[in-house]
Amino acid sequence: MGRNSRKRRMPLATKAIAASAALALGGGGLIWANYYASAHETNNAWGNQTKSASAQTATISCPDVGQQLTNVPRNARGEVAGELANLDRQITDAYQRLATTRDAQTRDASFVQNSILQPLQDRRKVILDRIKLEISRAGGTTPGSLDALASCVGTPASQTNAGGQQNGGGQQQNNGGQQSGGGQQQNIGGQAGNGPVAADFVDITRVRPNVAAKPRMMRGGSAGTFITRCGVNANKNHNTDNVIVAPGVTNGAHHTHDYVGNQKINAFSSNDTFLQGGTSCQNRSDLSAYYWPVVRVQDGSQEVDQNADGGGKEGNVGRILTPVQAQIKYVGSPTSKVVPMPQFLRIITGDAKTTTNGLANANAHWSCTGFENRVQLTTQYPICPSGSNVVRTFAFQSCWDGQNIDSANHRTHVAFADASGNCQNGFKAIPQLTMRLVYKINPPVLQNGVVKNAYAVDGFPEQLHKPATDHDDFISITTGGLSNRIANCVNSGRQCQ
Going from the C-alpha of 340 to that of each of 72, 354, 429, 483, the distances in angstroms are 27, 31, 9, 6
Query: Is residue 273 within 8 Å of 109, Cβ to Cβ?
Result: no
Q: How confident is the model at residue 353 (pLDDT cuts 50, 70, 90)?
A: very high
What is the distance between the alpha carbons of residues 425 and 210, in angstroms, rounded to a whole number? Answer: 29
What is the distance between the alpha carbons of residues 207 and 466, in angstroms, rounded to a whole number? Answer: 19
Q: Is the pLDDT of residue 459 over 90?
A: yes
Burial class for 209, CB neighbours closer than 10 Å (0-12, 13-18, 19+) = exposed
In the predicted model, what is the mean pLDDT of residues 81-102?
A: 95
Q: Is the pLDDT of residue 219 over 70?
A: yes
Q: Is the pLDDT of residue 446 over 70?
A: yes
Lowest mean pLDDT among 171-180, 291-300, 430-439: 171-180
Write a three-state SS string for 472-489: EEEECCECCCHHHHHHHH
What is the distance between the alpha carbons of residues 446 and 225, in angstroms, rounded to a whole number? Answer: 40
Q: How confident is the model at residue 189 (pLDDT cuts 50, 70, 90)?
A: confident
**What is the reported pLDDT for 6?**
37
What is the distance between the alpha carbons of residues 305 and 317, in angstroms, rounded to a whole number? Answer: 8
Q: Return the higher-pLDDT residue of 234 and 37.
A: 234
In the predicted model, what is the mean pLDDT of residues 439-452?
A: 94
**What is the reported pLDDT for 342?**
98
User: What dihedral do alpha carbons 46, 164, 360, 193 form, nearest 10°?
Assistant: 80
Distance of CA 257 to the CA centre of its chain: 11
What are the pLDDT digits (tens) for 142-156?
888 899 999 999 988
Q: Quote the Cα angle for 38-198-251, to 5°.
A: 65
Query: Containing H/E element for 265?
Result: none
Give the residue among 315, 329, 243, 223 at the shortest CA–CA distance from 281. 329
In the predicted model, what is the mean pLDDT of residues 74-92?
A: 96
What is the distance between the alpha carbons of residues 266 and 163, in angstroms, rounded to a whole number? Answer: 38
Q: Return the higher-pLDDT residue of 164 and 406.
A: 406
Position 316: which residue type? N
Query: Is residue 484 within 8 Å of 478, Cβ to Cβ?
Result: no
Percent above pLDDT 90 for the chain: 79
Which residues, 6+ apart, have CB-to-CB distance to 9 below 8 Å? Answer: 39, 41
In the predicted model, what is the mean pLDDT of residues 248-267?
A: 98
**Strand, helix or coil for residue 200:** helix
For the chain, what is the total number of helices (H) and then of strands (E)?
8, 23
What are the pLDDT digits (tens) for 54-81?
357 899 999 999 999 999 999 999 999 9
Q: Is the pLDDT of residue 52 over 50?
A: no
Position 47: which residue type? G
Q: Is the dihedral of CA 309, 328, 295, 374 positive or negative?
A: positive
Going from the C-alpha of 25 to that of each of 20, 162, 200, 406, the distances in angstroms are 9, 9, 11, 41
Query: Is residue 351 within 8 Å of 471, Cβ to Cβ?
Result: yes
* Average of per-residue pLDDT values in the chain: 86
Going from the C-alpha of 83 to that of each of 76, 144, 191, 246, 316, the distances in angstroms are 11, 18, 31, 9, 24
Distance of CA 454 to the CA centre of its chain: 18
**Burial letters for 132-171: b for 16+ Cβ neighbours within 10 Å, e otherwise?**
bebbeeeebebeeebeebbebbbbbbbbbbbbebbeeeeb
What are the pLDDT digits (tens) for 20-29?
333 332 322 2
Burial class for 373, CB neighbours closer than 10 Å (0-12, 13-18, 19+) = exposed
**What is the reported pLDDT for 242?**
97
Query: Is residue 70 within 8 Å of 409, Cβ to Cβ?
Result: yes
The full set of domain ranges for the chain reads: 13-496
What are the pLDDT digits (tens) for 285-303?
999 999 999 999 999 999 9
End-to-end CA distance of the chain: 32
**What is the reported pLDDT for 25?**
28
Give the residue among 318, 378, 91 at the shortest CA–CA distance from 189. 318
Burial class for 229, CB neighbours closer than 10 Å (0-12, 13-18, 19+) = middle
What is the distance between the alpha carbons of residues 476 and 478, in angstroms, rounded to a whole number? Answer: 7
In the predicted model, what is the mean pLDDT of residues 92-107?
A: 94
Q: What does the DSSP assignment read for 115-178?
A: IIIHHHHHHHHHHHHHHHHHHHHTT----TTGGGGG--EEEEHHHHSSS----GGG----TT--
The whole model's pTM is what? 0.85
